Each structure stands twice: as C-alpha cells, then as structure tokens.
Structure 1
C-alpha cells in the first residue's frame, strides 16, 4: 500500500469525484451533485478523503463528524481496484480522523442490498445494528 496516497479533497476535485461515484459507488444520494459536494468540502474540508494510486482516483470515503457522531458515507473503490486494501486504508484514515477529533463510535450508512459491502464492513470490525432504522425526509425535490 506504500504507493497509495490518501488526502483530503478540495474544490478542484469535485467533478472527478462525481464522475468516480457514478462508476464506483452503489446507489445515489440526494447530495451527489456539484452543490452538495461543494457544501461538504466548504463546511468540513477534512471530511472527504480520496485514495489515489499513480495520480488516479481509486477510492473515496466521507468521514463526517459533527461533534457528537462520527458518520461514514460514500466508501467506494474503483471496480478494477477492489481487493487491494484501498477500502481498508480509507477506513483507517477515517477512523484516525475521528479519534483526533474526539469521536467515540463510527456509524456507517450501508445499502441493505449491497451484500459485498456487508462483508467489507464486517471484515473491518463493524457490525449491523438491527435495533435502529434510518428515518428520512427530503427537504427538496
């Protein structure tokens, strides 16, 4: 993994990140647009972590901390680069960020139907918390 570089995204990365998510991420989010990612980076410049190998984007994770909860979103690895430890390296970077900020527990958003992701999260020491359900209300159309 020594040739893998993990860094925080900046505003110049937004278009590349959006293209990457269309190819590598499962599902879509209401915030998967230029304005949404701009707000994320502007509000919390350290939250969107990018993994690069040979100058090419190979993975992402959003490691958001609001002072109360550590939340992980958009863990994605390019399909041709899976099983190379990129997701593990991204999650280690996210967890180190959370620890430095005083975080105590990480919550991950994982699609119910994404069985491959379930195995990845379990291998990383995460477990499904069945007593909670996510409730949502879109604020825009």
Structure 2
C-alpha cells in the first residue's frame, strides 16, 4: 500500500489544512454536517459512500477535532456526530467552494441546490477577500511571506 504524504508539519497553512481534511469525502461529510446530518446512516444515505470509507473518514474527522461524538439527541443508544468549533470554522471554506462551483460548473439556468440565509431566504453575497483596511483584494494583490 502506498503511504500518504503527511503535511501536518508543513510551514504552509494550506498544506496543513488539506492534511487535516484529508480528501473530498471528508469535506462532503462536513458539508452534510452543516446541512444537519448527525448520524452514520444519514451521512451514508446522503453521500452514497461505502460504510468502510465513511467509518474511516468519520474517525479521522473526530481524531482531528473537526467532529465530536455525542449521545443521540433522542435519548436512544445511538450516537451522533456534531461539528466542533474547529469544524464550524470550515463554513467559509464550504461556502467558497460552493460559490466557485456555482460560477464555473453549472450552465445558466441549470438547476442546483442553493444556500440561502435562514431569515430571508435569499442567496448569499459572494465571499470577498479584504485587506485589514477593508479594501477588496485579488490574488494579484497578495504575496506569501515564506518562512526562512
């Protein structure tokens, strides 16, 4: 078996973040957790993922502090997976991927799911990157300061 390269000691925050999430199944689990999935069966039905893959990804997300296991909210013997504060901090990442996908992978008028604000039912404004002074920035306006 090929051993996965670990990036958890990298000096790059993007590399460490990718290492923590692991793969696309894990990010889709986080997406579904934001949508209200809490139990193993809910994740499996929503994603259509094999049980062994889901089990591995859930364990990894729990070990990484993105999800936590709690007793079932209905008092049954089951348990549920809930986002931790660390996991909830992934919300802008999920929104950014959603908005990028909306802009680049759907034909005009093509049906798709839509993220709306709960109070008014309206779509979200596009995410923007801003300077400390509030000025919108693009990639050409930034530079990465490398660790010496």
Q: Per the shorter chain, which TM-score range?
A: 0.3 to 0.5
Q: Which TM-score applies when normalising by structure 1?
A: 0.32
Which structure is higher in RCO with an 8 Å CA cutoff and minimum separation 6?
1
Q: Which is richer in strand?
A: 1
Q: Which TM-score applies when normalising by structure 2?
A: 0.32
